[in-house]
Amino acid sequence: MKLTVNGENHEVASGTLAALLAELDYEGGWLATALNGEVVPAKERDGCALADGDRIEILAPMKGG
Amino acid sequence: MLELYGQQVSSRLLLGTALYPSPAIMAEAIKASGVDIVTVSLRRETSGGKAGGQFWSLIQSLGVHVLPNTAGCHSVKEAVTTARMAREVFATNWIKLEVIGNHDTLQPDVFGLVEAAKILSAEGFEVFPYTTDDLVVAERLLDAGCKVLMPWCAPIGSARGPQNLDALRSLRGHFPGVPLIVDAGIGRPSHAATVMELGYDAVLLNTAVAKAGDPVAMAAAFGKAVEAGRQAFLAGPLEPRDMAVPSTPVIGMAAFS
């Protein structure tokens, strides 16, 4: 399945957002995720099915003004 | 004590966490200034990266409140989504709402700002809108549900200091009960003291401390300036006068001629 993760193209095997995070080596309770522009809370990632062409954002705390 | 959305804080200085020479210097600056609130952001994490987690651990170790921002967002949709993601990560309803309208001046898109503030307030967010010093926009933001306003005094990172004291005075005069925080454009402690003397409740800055020759010393200097300005406001500053007025008594002068 082809996905766009943080603006980059990826070919992945994962069928859910939770599996995708593990497959791409993302871990940590500080991550925030969005699928096609909509927020997916951490507790809903297991049940969040992915489809070809989906756009995923994985964000983390960063310095800011 | 300053109260922001029911949260009491003792320091009237809010600091950003960006642009410091190192995370250690940032942490020292935060401690030296005595701030209770720091701003943070959300950015893309790299695959396998731990940068976000390390930064977040450092901030948590400082025992301060975090005010997540929507910096860099140019549309209502971007800002609202970023705010929702920030609430998820930082576990706070606070959001420093930025909807940028112009690349060169980084001035807020006040129309988008009001729209986003309305959406987020309805969702239970406690919005700190980064706005201009426009009085009517301020009214719209209050109508949208904001209980704190954060007008700029000059463009972000410009260090120019207050460019329109009349507009800042007007805002202060119109909204005596609303916490007003000057956000953006402060360059020196004297700028911070100036707006605090006008009765502003607090000052939010970042670049002026982070890019100073000695950020830790500058953070301490800003802490003092904000306190001095507040104390001066409460003490009732003298208004400027057109003519000189002698301070030494005129009565009792000796006559030598």
Q: How many CB atoms within 10 Å of residue B137?
A: 19
Q: Which residue numbers in chain B have pLDDT < 50? A: none
Q: Where are the alpha helices (DSSP H) in A1-65?
A: 17-23
Provide the 3-class DSSP secondary structure of residue B193: helix
How much of chain B is helix, strand and coil, in % rounded to 5? 40, 20, 40
Q: Choosing from B31, B50, B77, B96, which is the catalytic residue?
A: B96
> Quick check: A30 contacting B, CB < 8 Å?
yes
Residues in chain A: 65
Tens digits of per-residue pLDDT, A23-59? Answer: 999 988 899 999 999 999 999 999 999 999 999 999 9
- What local confidence, expressed as pLDDT, does residue B50 receive? 82
- What local confidence, expressed as pLDDT, does residue B257 receive? 86
H/E stretch holding A40 = strand A38-40
Q: What percent of chain B has pLDDT over 90?
A: 94
- What local confidence, expressed as pLDDT, does residue B51 receive? 87
- Here the ipTM equals 0.93
β-strand pairing of B126-131 with B150-151: parallel
Nearest-Cα residue of chain B relative to residue A27 = B48
- Exposure on the CB side of residue B167, measured as CA atoms within 13 A: 16
Q: How many CB atoms within 10 Å of residue B182?
A: 30
